[in-house]
Amino acid sequence: MARFKTKNRRSKRKMTIPLAVVAGFLPLGVDVYNSIKGQRPQDIPNTIVNDLTGFNIVDPYHPQWQFAGLKRGLVPIVTGLAIHKFVGGSLGINRMLGNAGIPFIRI
């Protein structure tokens, strides 16, 4: 007796924008934009390093670590990734958004 086979229907992956991850990068982007807007493009590398590592490298021989820099860069990025992973993935919110037919947007 022959058994019937079920078809595996897989949809093509579509481009999505994870809002929590993008929101995590916004404070870093705002700091870089303020450096550009303030006519001080030489401060851009210091701003990026300070926001992602916490070290203020204005004086390269005596760098100072400050948690305030991390609050504007690395902490929001990690928080956005965690929200995307746990809220969107583990709780199934992203799957529900996809099944509802909402284009592009995921948590």
pLDDT in tens, 32-47: 999 999 888 888 999 9
Cα dihedral: 22, 78, 28, 14 (round 10): -20
| pLDDT over 90 at 73, yes or no | yes
pLDDT class of 103 with cuts at 50, 70, 90: confident
pLDDT at 83: 95
Percent of the chain with pLDDT over 90: 55
pLDDT class of 61 with cuts at 50, 70, 90: confident
| pLDDT over 80 at 8, yes or no | no
Percent of the chain with pLDDT over 70: 92
pLDDT at 39: 82
Record the pTM.
0.81
Q: Which of 80, 81, 105, 78 has its CA nearest to residue 93?
A: 105
Structure tokens at 90: 């583990």
